[in-house]
Amino acid sequence: MNVFIVHAHPEPNSFTSAMKDAAVADFTAAGHEVVVSDLYAMNWNPIASAADFGTRGNPEYLNYALEQRANADADTLAPDIEAELVKLQAADLVIFSFPLYWFSVPAIMKGWIDRVLVSGRIYGGRRIYDRGGMAGKRALLALTCGGRDYMMAPDGIHGDIQQILKPVLQGTFGYIGMTVLPPFVGYHIPYLSPEVRSDILGQYRQYLHGLDALEPLVMPSLAHFDPQMKPLSV
């Protein structure tokens, strides 16, 4: 299979980067093709702007989503966006590798989402969820954080980690049609002993080894909604 890892950590020797390196090593050893976009190393530009478009439907007023659609059709998106789209569209499994920043992905990764998941090519109109443009591909979030597991449990102070990550799990990968796997979370990473961190790295490798057995998260189906997206039961 083709594995595409989008990695966002500013320190190549970080624990999060070690997780990314382990994934690359293990998938490669198992005979899979692995491509990595290391966003800080690439100096990825996270800013959505008019510079993303080679042509403009309306040069007077920037409607970003409309210009995405027009430029995707005309193959006039900025080259850095096109390069990421090629990797994304070739992938069977996409892994987002990142430290949790403010209950979310680092800004550089959010900018990757904003610029690369192009309206018209990846999703649009009713091409969402089970009819999304990326249907058939799997997505996995592999993240680290400072908080403890019990703090991000349903009854914990921050609430359930899957609710914290909902904007990415559902609002991004589920929305564009991907099969979303349960996230792997390395909790409390900076405060652990090296030995416990090594154990977590081992757990991550096991998790990747057993991906095929994981039950994907449940996402909405358009079959349950009318053309105005109202629930059919209402």
Give kind and range of the element (H or E) at residue 142.
Answer: strand 138-144
- Structure tokens belonging to residue 116: 């690369």
The helix/strand/coil state of 180 is strand
From the list 15-23, 41-49, 123-131, 225-233, the region that binds ligand FAD by CB under 6 A is 15-23
- Contacts of 17 by beta carbon, 8 Å cutoff, 6+ apart: 7, 9, 11
* Kind and range of the H or E run holding 200: helix 194-209
The smaller minimum CB distance to ligand FAD, of residues 15 and 27, is found at 15
Among the listed ranges 64-72, 99-107, 123-131, 165-173, the one in contact with ligand FAD (CB under 6 A) is 99-107
- Considering only residues 189, 208, 217, 219, which one is a binding residue for ligand FAD as defined by CB under 6 A? 189
Closest to ligand FAD by CB, 146 or 216: 146
Query: Given candidates 58, 63, 198, 206, which one binds ligand FAD under the rule CB under 6 A?
Result: 198
Among the listed ranges 6-14, 80-88, 213-221, 225-233, the one in contact with ligand FAD (CB under 6 A) is 6-14
Residue with tokens 């490669």: 28
Q: Which of 37, 97, 144, 170 binds ligand FAD (CB under 6 A)?
A: 144
φ, ψ for residue 193, nearest 5 deg: -75, 155
What's the DSSP call for residue 172?
A: I
Return the range that interacts with ligand FAD (CB under 6 A); candidates 75-83, 175-183, 188-196, 219-227. Answer: 188-196
CB atoms inside a 10 Å sphere around CB 77 = 25
Cβ-proximal residues to 153 (8 Å cutoff; 6+ apart), any chain = 160, 161
Among 35, 78, 201, 214, binds ligand FAD (CB under 6 A): 201
Which residue type occupies 117? L
Please identify, among the stretches 7-15, 87-95, 118-126, 202-210, the one whose residues bind ligand FAD according to the rule CB under 6 A: 7-15
Per CB under 6 A, contacts with ligand FAD among 22-51 are none
Measured over the CA atoms of residue 110, residue 114, residue 48 and residue 74, the dihedral's sign is positive
Out of 11, 149, 199, 226, the residue judged to bind ligand FAD by CB under 6 A: 11
207 binds ligand FAD (CB under 6 A): no
CB closer to ligand FAD out of 190 and 216: 190
Residue the block writes with tokens 């018209």: 120
Residues paired with residue 185 on neighbouring β-strands, in sequence order: 143
Distance, first Cα to last Cα, the chain: 42
The correct pick among 108, 145, 217, 219 for binding ligand FAD (CB under 6 A) is 145
**Residues at the contact surface with ligand FAD, assessed by CB under 6 A:** 9, 11, 13-16, 18, 99-103, 144-147, 189-190, 194, 197-198, 201
